[in-house]
Structure 1
Amino acid sequence: MTPSDRDATGLLTRPDPFVQLITPTGERVRDDVHDPWVRDIDLDVLARLYRDMVVVRRLDTEATALQRQGELGLWPPLAGQEAAQIGSARALRGDDFVFSSYREHAVAWVRDVQPAELLSVWRGTAASGWNPYEHNMAVPQIIIGAQALHATGYAMGARWEGTDTAAIAYFGDGATSEGDVNEALVFAASFDAPVVFFCQNNQWAISEPVGLQSKQPLARRADGFGMPGIRVDGNDVLAVLAATRIALDRARRGEGPTFIEAVTYRIGPHTTADDPTRYRTEPELAEWRERDPIARVLTFLEASGVDAEGLQRDAQAEADRVAADLRAAITTLADPEPMSVFDHVYAEPNSHLDRQRDHYARYLAMFDDASHEASGSEGGAR
């Protein structure tokens, strides 16, 4: 890679080679190393992956609209990253455990998280969205990179228990600059933890391009920790599926962790509180739209003889149903009682929490007293 491969901001303009099985124009690339890992993916299965991506994009659009309409406090869009999330999540077994950041709504979809569970945190009606043990997926981690440590610890425990269960940690390119992620990589490599570190390099850590964080492709960092690094086209659902299966197989055979860099792009804002027009250009966005993960699969399927029009129609109908369920779920999310914020903070009661609870209760009582006083004054005036 040469300096000319980056623009003035440091953004990578010509990517390092990566694993790609379906090109942006829908052509199948033959690959002797990775093809065997997706030999079972026939046109019907690939169509299902297409429908998954269509559904989660529609889900994401609906949630963004709900935030704009004041129904959610915040929403982190995933648009553009559907293939990275669907391809990797569909490679997992049911007993594998997922540790995600706040953007992996498509992974949650694959793990059967319900719409109401997906929205509750962003509406502010719950401190967490779902029971992790019902879906083998931890609730989203807001602290950047912390989930990498959680995944490593879980994986080490699974190894010591003698199971072949694996863990996977999802994080963005920005998280690779956090100490938590690097500490997790050290521990995972040292103890051969069966964990996959899945980095979605969407090119921007909020408003900073990935080139300002790393002068080399992120997958090369794996060498320094003593684990394989796989760089894959994150907009190619088939290639992501193959790469994740390879990493999971290594983990199950006791060969330790793998770092996957899925090269993708965040089409929307970092969150609905962000304005991406302040730091990126329309030509850049247009270039990445040409690499759309959904369009390339549909093109390939159509060229392979699949009824593309019928597939689009069915996928859109399913997506509309999911979106309607998501919107209807808003009405089921009741505001919690104020004092419930102290529930489930600690496993056992303690004086520190009791003191906070008492202070908060007295704080809330001030508003009740003020309300009564105001009512009394109005009554006296009459």
Structure 2
Amino acid sequence: MTMETLLLMFLLTHAAGTQDIHTVSKISVQKQQKITIPCLYDQKYVSFPKYMSRGGVWIFSQHVSHNRMSVEDNQAENVFTATLSEAEVSDSGTYWCAVTVSGSDPHVYLDLQVTEAEARLRVSSQTVSGYEGGNVTILCHGASHWCTIRGACVGRDGGSLERTAVSDDGGDVLRVTLWQLQKEDSGWYYCSNENSQMPVNVTVMEALDITQFTTNPSYSTTPLGEDRLDFRRFLWLLLLGAMLPITVCGAVMLIKARNKRKKRAEISNLHDDMNIQQLPKKNGKNNEVACENLYGFTTGNKPITQGNGKNNEVACEDLYETMTGNKQITQGNWKNNEVSCEDLYETMTGNKQNTQLTATDDKNIYGHKSEKMNR
């Protein structure tokens, strides 16, 4: 084959414009799996239509139009992606990322291989996410390097990418860790071996953007776990803070209710103790009898009447002072006992006392006191 023929074939398969579009060169995927192919383009093509074409020679290739292939343009990141669903062996072949412009369309080729068996180079998912300042880990099965789409790589045999580390994870698994993530780390990367590449999209979110996070088994993010733990602690503290005033109020209400029940029980017991049969029979001085009995019921003590010619006065004075807190003034009235009993009766019942009492009336005084105390 002459040099002229080789040059012609090269020009036919790699026309001008390839430097403006970038993608991987070869992808292998297992049958019935989904594969996404990223095509990065120059800013000057942002407003032009993008498409995928298929064919061994560019000028003879045709647009892929079946419904299992979809193209989505992300103009904010200058990348469009072609996603093939439920890949079939017959989908294997040469594809072209291309942009529709006037004149010759810029394009770049890639080779897609669909296999019956599991592909040697693979990842659990082509999309991973992490938070700013956090870490993200990708497990690349059958890979030896981790690279950016534009070509910078790091692998077992050396190389470097900023804030990126690789290590063996047993067998042929390459563990890739991106640490201290920054927003500019978002984008397309790929795992690679000597034969093919597998694209992986990394999305870096703001530290508090929890709603956009989706868990993915192909990576782990330690700071995210800590953020979730702190958030749960915050929720528990908030709940406890809200429950504390309710608990205190409930305890206070229970104590008040208990005290009220105790008071009612004491009043009920006092009423039971004040048996009407304890009143003495009619002795001609009904008001004296009433005062003595009322004094005993009120204070719990029997008045001492020995040595005092006016025993009822003593009882009524003491009882009046016990109930009202004031010293009774009895001077100037030769019937001090009647006055004090009248005052005492009026204090207890709110009614003026009829001093012409009988033994039955004594019971009425007792009844008034018992009824008032029951209230």
Q: What is the TM-score with the length of structure 1 in the denominator?
A: 0.21
Q: What is the TM-score with the length of structure 2 in the denominator?
A: 0.21
Task: Select the structure of larger CA radius of gyration.
Answer: 2
* Structure in which a larger fraction of residues adopt strand: 2
